[in-house]
């Protein structure tokens, strides 16, 4: 028997708010991308061009995240028993892979320019970079107001954060060229951007892969879960225990729980289920739990199959 306690309704409301944030960020991203492309052409700046290219991937990533959020809110078919929530996780993984590709491009272009630096019109470069800085800061504030913990939204936020850092570095590089005539500052800025993006993209890739592989949620110790359940009066065994994440903020758990006949006679199956669900919700914040309650007499007849 499963227990949801209205958590799905709150999650749906949070996802709708996230979509509004993503739409705002998409509009800002597209405007800044055009501004930076124009700025890169006019000034010859690699840092601006790299940031504009990253803004283009951001726009695609936000479109992907927005589309995934809509898909995840759709009701699943007869075979999609958990709905389409995993669309958000797939989008987060694609975002991470796109970021890795951007890192590779920035590293290649930056190293090439270091060997043969070109002239950059630093004054306008700083101006265009400041426009990007302000816009990216505003977008990041919008995204960080979400409290859903969505990996999908975090993927978009990570890319906007990388853009913000890129804009700051472009401003610094422009000032160095303007004040010291040091043109290698431009490709160096693009290399630093690549270095800063890499760890965030790897973390996002790891977390999205963990959800897709149905690894137990971070911070949840299954031995601790088993111990809490075994401490409940009448529980004599907990087996076939599994925990996974359906999508960000929706951890799930299932287990076979063997209880004494006396407890079943006193509380009934429904009462035992309520106590088990309350335990996992209170101690591990798992609102979607499924338990198979079994009497002690069933132990000798249960075949769990091979352990895979």
Quote the Cα angle for 31-33-38, to 5°: 100
At residue 276, the pLDDT reads: 93
Closest CA relative to residue 175, chosen from 133, 116, 114: 133
Q: What are phi and psi of 216, to 5 degrees?
A: -55, 140
Are 259 and 295 within 8 A, CB to CB? yes
Are 44 and 25 within 8 A, CB to CB? no
Helix axes 7-43, 46-72, angle to 10 degrees: 160
At residue 69, the pLDDT reads: 66
In 3-state terms the chain splits into helix, strand, coil percentages (rounded to 5) of 70, 10, 20
Are 160 and 51 within 8 A, CB to CB? no
Return d(Cα 129, Cα 275) in angstroms, integer.
Answer: 57
Q: Tell me how crowded residue 68 is: count the other CB atoms within 10 A of its CB.
A: 26
At residue 255, the pLDDT reads: 94
At residue 292, the pLDDT reads: 93
Q: What is the pTM of this model?
A: 0.70
Residue ranges of the chain whose pLDDT lies below 70: 1-16, 64-65, 67-69, 71-73, 76, 81, 146-152, 299-308
At residue 195, the pLDDT reads: 82
At residue 259, the pLDDT reads: 94
Closest CA relative to residue 247, chosen from 156, 148, 157: 148
Alpha helices of 183-260 — where are they, by DSSP H?
185-212, 222-230
Take residue 276 and report the two structure tokens written for it. 């088990």
Hey, which bits of 107-175 come out as E strands? none
Q: First and final CA of the chain: distance in angstroms?
A: 24
Return d(Cα 49, Cα 38) in angstroms, integer.
Answer: 9
Return d(Cα 267, Cα 273) in angstroms, integer.
Answer: 10
Average pLDDT, the chain: 81
Domains of the chain with bracketed CATH: 2-212 (1.20.1510.10), 222-301 (3.30.300.30)
Contacts 24+ apart (CB under 8 A), 16-22: 16/73, 17/146, 17/148, 18/69, 18/146, 18/148, 18/150, 18/152, 18/153, 19/66, 19/69, 19/70, 21/142, 21/143, 21/145, 21/146, 21/153, 22/62, 22/65, 22/66, 22/69, 22/143, 22/153, 22/156
In which order are the strands placed within the sheet that holds 251-259?
2-3, 288-295, 251-259, 235-245
At residue 68, the pLDDT reads: 65
């Amino acid at each position: 028997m499963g227990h949801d306690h209205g958590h799905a309704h709150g999650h749906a409301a949070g996802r709708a708010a996230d979509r509004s944030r993503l739409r705002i960020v998409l509009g800002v991203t597209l405007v800044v991308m055009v501004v930076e492309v124009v700025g890169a052409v006019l000034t010859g700046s690699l840092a601006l061009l790299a940031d504009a290219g990253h803004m283009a991937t951001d726009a695609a990533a936000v479109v992907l995240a927005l589309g995934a959020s809509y898909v995840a809110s759709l009701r699943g078919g007869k075979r999609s028993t958990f709905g389409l929530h995993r669309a958000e996780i797939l989008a987060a993984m694609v975002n991470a892979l796109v970021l890795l590709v951007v890192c590779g491009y920035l590293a290649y272009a930056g190293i090439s320019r270091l060997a043969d630096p070109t002239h950059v019109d630093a004054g306008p470069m700083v101006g265009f970079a400041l426009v990007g800085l302000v816009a990216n800061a505003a977008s990041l504030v919008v995204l960080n107001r979400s409290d859903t913990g969505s990996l999908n939204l975090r993927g978009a936020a990570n890319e906007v954060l990388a853009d913000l850092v890129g804009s700051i570095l472009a401003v610094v590089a422009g000032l160095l060229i303007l004040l010291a005539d040091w043109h290698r500052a431009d490709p160096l800025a693009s290399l630093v951007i690549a270095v800063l993006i890499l760890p965030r993209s790897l973390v996002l890739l790891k977390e999205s892969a963990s959800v897709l592989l149905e690894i137990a949620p971070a911070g949840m110790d299954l031995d601790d879960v088993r111990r809490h359940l075994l401490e409940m009066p009448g529980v004599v065994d907990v087996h076939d225990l599994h925990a996974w994440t359906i999508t960000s903020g929706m951890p799930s758990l299932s287990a076979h729980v063997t209880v004494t006949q006396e407890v079943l006679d006193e509380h009934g199956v429904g009462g035992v289920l309520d106590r088990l669900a309350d335990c996992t919700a209170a101690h591990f914040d798992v609102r979607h739990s499924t338990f198979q309650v079994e009497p002690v007499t069933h132990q000798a007849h249960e075949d769990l199959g091979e352990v895979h």
